[in-house]
Amino acid sequence: MHKDEEELFDLPLFLGVLGIPESEHTAVHNALTAGVRAYHQAQGGGIEDGESLIPTLMAQATAFGYGVLEILADETISVESRKKIAYFACQTADPFARDHMPHGLVTFISFLAQHQALSVDLFRSVLLALALSGVPDKLVGWSEEWALRLTEWLLTRAAVSDEEKQWWLWYLAAHLSQSMGEVLLPVWAAHEGLPLDLRRELLWGWLMNEEQVGYPPANWRLMQATFAGDMELAEAISAEMNLVEEANVDETAVLADLENTPHIPPMPDHHGPGNDPVGFLTMLMGMKFGEPLLPPIFVRRFTVGALAALEGNPLELFQMLLAEADAANEELRHGVLDALPHFADGFTATQKRQLLDMGLIVSRTAVRQRLYELGASWFGVDYVQEALTDSAASIRKWAMRYNDGVKRDA
């Protein structure tokens, strides 16, 4: 094919190479059509007839990902066929080429994990490819349901060390949306697949904004060393990788060696990563692999309550966070206020009062408002009197309304 000639997705060849039963061909075709529509909708447009665009759009890795998500969701297609397609879709990812990362890539490995068809090597390789690609949203197309399945797979792998599991949770947390975090973080904090001491260390790492917690896998450390220009370390890690043998899923049982199959776009050319020199150089110039990944603030806010539950007596933790005169810790003080009602029965009246007073000294208006409201629930109208002289007009008005309500109820 001439390099300027547009590559097309050959659906009959795709179905034949993967050995998809003829009885499922229509379902796969319909799912890809739905994927075309979903892709157009995501681009801000609409389309009624997606069928005619399958050859052109499904040759593009991003659009192909939308089609694969539709296939994986279609339970009329056998699990075996969906595993083959998910594995094929993983192979279409090429971080060294431009626009060659399929949408929903993390969901593909989550599906394989659910059906015990995911190897540790493929898991590591897919997430490394996402990191190298420079795609801003690493977890795009991932739902809470699929995330829980991949989490369960990861935390129950004997072939993955506890320190690596800890590192993966630290890494994934840096890319979570808040809605995803609200589902995953409580599961991670309580999951016995990671020893208690490492869970506690992970939580403290999030709370204190540590640059890294746990121990990344060898392929990740190799890339870090390479980008840092430490060739001696890179050679040592390469030697380590050659010596490591792990009990992994035999992926040849899922799909035959793709090197022996015809080239089917959006599969990269068989001569391997780096087939697009411009894309490779752009990637090298545009990214700094291995930069510190700091957790989103909602992760740190969640961590306050999770650590309080693990520590048994969280008084010192609450005191530390309420007293820290740092504007960046405002969300952590919100975290304390989220957790305090659940632990209040373990504190004396004096301790409660001290916590409230500590927070009032350094906090901004929103936190002070919550502190006064909590104080009112503990100590009644007497505590509200202090709010009448607060520097914030909104808090003074709240205190006056509170007092008026008490008088009406009297």
CA dist., res. 385 & res. 376, Å (int): 10
CA dist., res. 177 & res. 161, Å (int): 26
User: Does residue 249 or residue 5 have the better pLDDT?
Assistant: 5
CA dist., res. 369 & res. 359, Å (int): 11
DSSP 331-377: HHHHHHHHHHHHHGGGS-HHHHHHHHHHHHHH--HHHHHHHHHHHHH
| CB-based contact 142:104 (threshold 8 Å) | yes
The pTM (predicted TM-score) of the whole model is: 0.86
CA dist., res. 47 & res. 103, Å (int): 19
Q: Which ranges of 193-276 does DSSP label H, i.e. alpha helix? A: 196-207, 218-228, 231-243
Burial zone of 231 (CB within 10 Å; 0-12 exposed, 13-18 middle, 19+ buried): exposed
List pLDDT tens digits, range 285-326.
444 555 667 889 999 999 999 999 998 779 999 999 998 766
pLDDT above 90 covers what percent of the chain? 61
398 pLDDT exceeds 90? yes
CA dist., res. 324 & res. 359, Å (int): 9
User: Does residue 66 or residue 258 have the better pLDDT?
Assistant: 66
Those residues whose C-beta lies under 8 Å from the C-beta of residue 336, and which sit 6 or more positions away, are 304, 318, 321, 322, 355, 359
CA dist., res. 65 & res. 387, Å (int): 55
pLDDT above 70 covers what percent of the chain? 85
Sign of CA dihedral 154, 159, 163, 168: negative
Radius of gyration, alpha carbons of the chain: 27
The conformation of residue 387, written as its DSSP 8-state character, comes to: G
CA dist., res. 297 & res. 209, Å (int): 10
Those residues whose C-beta lies under 8 Å from the C-beta of residue 349, and which sit 6 or more positions away, are 378, 379
251 pLDDT exceeds 70? no
Domain range list for the chain: 313-409
Q: If pLDDT is split at 50, 70 and 90, which confidence band does 95 have?
A: confident
List pLDDT tens digits, range 211-221.
889 999 998 88
What is the signed CA dihedral for 145, 178, 68, 24, rounded to 10 degrees?
A: 20
Those residues whose C-beta lies under 8 Å from the C-beta of residue 113, and which sit 6 or more positions away, are 123, 149, 150, 152, 153, 154
CA dist., res. 289 & res. 287, Å (int): 6
What is the signed CA dihedral for 383, 385, 388, 389, rounded to 10 degrees?
A: -90
Those residues whose C-beta lies under 8 Å from the C-beta of residue 10, and which sit 6 or more positions away, are 55, 264, 265
Most confident of 43-47, 281-285, 378-382: 378-382
